[in-house]
Amino acid sequence: MNHFLYGASIPFVIGVLLYLLGKGRAPLLMLILIPLAMAFAGTWAVVPDIPRMLGYFDLYSRLATDPRINIFLWHYTLDQIETESSWYAVGIALEAATLMGVALRELFRKEKS
């Protein structure tokens, strides 16, 4: 879960910065592209874990010990320092709630005008 959170956090932080630089306005394109980029980056970050999910434990073992899988958004490094925690799910939920809040704010602004 932490790999997905850290991967999705990269486009999320970029989106927050763009939102703040845009004086609290989020165009429709941004509201579409940021969640898509978050889903893609989060999925990219967990690619090395897919063999384990499919039952290919030999391949997973080789990947888990190879530092080159850091290309998947620091997957190897995170595996070395990770701990199990339910806070990762909370982080993903907070990111999703923030995106929904921004989208609702933009919708209310459009309805007012």
Domain ranges of the chain: 2-112
For the entire predicted model, the pTM comes to 0.89
Instruction: Produce one character per residue of 89-111: b if its CB has 16 or more CB atoms within 10 Å, e if not.
Output: eebbeebeeebeebbeebeeeee
CA atoms within 13 Å, Cβ hemisphere of 23: 0
Tell which residue, 107, 89, 99, 105, has the closest CA to residue 37: 99
- pLDDT tens for 9-68 read 999 999 999 999 999 999 999 999 999 999 999 999 999 999 999 999 999 999 989 999
Contact 66, 76 (CB under 8 A): yes
